[in-house]
Every structure is written in C-alpha cells, then in structure tokens.
Amino acid sequence: MSERTIKSYTYCVLRFFEKSRCCKEKCPQKVKRQEIIDYLNSEFVDRKIAGNTINVNLNALKFFFEEVLRKNMRLYVKYSKKALKLPLVLTKEEVKSLINNIKNEKHRLMISLLYGSGMRLSEIINLKIKDLEIERGYGFVRQGKGRKDRIFVVPCSVIERLKKELNGKSIEEYVFSSNRGRKYSQATIQAILKSAAEDSGLWKLKRVHPHTLRHSFATHLIQNGASLNEVQAMLGHKSPETSMVYVHMASPSMINIKSPLDNL
C-alpha cells in the first residue's frame, strides 16, 4: 500500500483503541464485530461525519482484524459516501492568466507542466529526469496513486524550456529541484500557485489549488474532443465512472447536448 494509506490506516486503528470505551483495555483478538460497528456508529454516524471518513475507518479496521490478525470478522458494512460535488475548474483563459502571472521561469514551467500533463502534485514533485522521453513528447509517472505506472503527455510548448532546465543534470535527479538540489515540497508549490492566483485576481473568485489544474486539464480535454477512455488513461483512473465527472463539467455545446427548449 502507499505510504499515505499506511499512515491513514495506522491512525484509524490507534484511534479505535483509544476512543472505543469497551475495547480500550481489551486484547485486540477479543474484540467483537458488534463492538466495531457500535464504535463507528457512535463516533461517526451519530455525529453525521462524512461517509468517506467513515469508510476509511471501516476499511482500516477491517484490514487490521481480517488481514493482520486473521479474525473472521466479516465486516461487510456499507456506509454512504459523501455526496458528489463537482470539482472546481478554471476556464482556459483563467489558466493562461494564472501561468502568465508567475514571474519565476522555473516556477512557471513547473505549473505549466502540472496543468499540461494532468499530473497530481505528488507526482510532479517526484518526477525524475529518467522518467521523461522529451523528444517523443511523453513521460512516465512511476508508482503513482495505487502503486501504478502510467504515461503522461509532455506539451510541445514546454519542451524547449524543459531541455534548458534539465541541461547538465543527471538522469537520477528530480526534474524540479530547489537551488539546494532538493525536491520541492507540496507546500512550496501550493504557495506559488496561490500567489499567482492572487496576482491574476482569481483568488477572489476561485480558491485555486494544484488539484484544480488537474480537474481543469481533464475538463479541457473533453472540451477539445477527447474520449472518456482517453481521459481515464491520462488521469490513471481505475474506472471510467471516476472520470465521468469531467464530462459533466464540460460545456454542453462541447459534448453535443442541446436544450429541448431550442426545439420548441
């Protein structure tokens, strides 16, 4: 599992033994199925905590008891996920304005590639020179979300700037690194993006975050005529249902939908 999942599951299991009144002093092997369900209901369901949070805690406890301790718990309990919320998306003009308001060349290149490739923030931070096939216009995300490799497109408009940035570097180095040779932190890139959003006047209307660029990338692909399968492949989604939200975000005229009022 990913480091993020490990940390999340560990936190949820520790919290269970700290918060659960009946299980606090109990040997884990003696915990019963109903005690886990009671804990989830009292700590999350009754307090109207988001379904996604409940599911993470359930899956963590299910993994711990069934996979680690090998107990036959059969925790097949379903909690509803949080309601579908359409992601924040920038228009193409807003993306252009955002990028143009980044004065530092390296930072501008980094944000341009973040949007132009649809990569996640963690993926561009960990991108190494050896993962790029610049002349062929693509690169590889190694061990992305779900421990999966996938291909991504390198925009033609950044190829020459990328070559200049990578000149003299070893293939084992990160594509983007600080002046001290260290990879960028997520907080640094978030700060760069926020500053650009403020300078362009976007921050008053839209709270722009790195993942906003990924949402915008996918929506603009649909608007440009890309198929759902192509978007799914570019984003590295397991199923087309996950990518379907971007079809909803695309302009109706771009996906050939006409209002019935126009036919009256």
- Sheet harboring 138-141: ordered strands across? 132-133, 138-141, 150-153
Q: Which residue of the set 107, 108, 214, 220 is catalytic?
A: 214
| Strands of the chain, DSSP E | 132-133, 138-141, 150-153
Q: Yes or no: say if 126 and 183 are a contact pair by the CB < 8 Å rule.
A: yes
- Chain segment 90-101, per-residue pLDDT in tens: 999 999 999 999
106 pLDDT band (50/70/90 cuts)?
very high
Q: Which residue of the set 39, 115, 174, 246 is catalytic?
A: 246
Please state which CATH number belongs to domain 92-255. 1.10.443.10
By DSSP bridging, strand 138-141 and strand 150-153 are antiparallel
237 is catalytic: yes
Per-domain boundaries in the chain: 3-68, 92-255
Instruction: Write the class of the CATH domain 3-68.
Output: mainly alpha
C-alpha span between 38 and 36 (Å, rounded)? 5
C-alpha span between 250 and 89 (Å, rounded)? 10
Q: Yes or no: say if 129 and 172 are a contact pair by the CB < 8 Å rule.
A: yes
Q: Are 3-68 and 92-255 the same fold in CATH?
A: no
Structure tokens at 161: 């700037």
120 is catalytic: yes
Can you give the pLDDT at residue 245? 75
Q: Which residue of the set 107, 108, 120, 215 is catalytic?
A: 120
C-alpha span between 3 and 171 (Å, rounded)? 25
C-alpha span between 164 and 180 (Å, rounded)? 18
215 is catalytic: no
Using the 8-state DSSP alphabet, how is residue 28 labeled? G
Span 112-125, average pLDDT: 93
**pTM for this model (two decimals):** 0.70
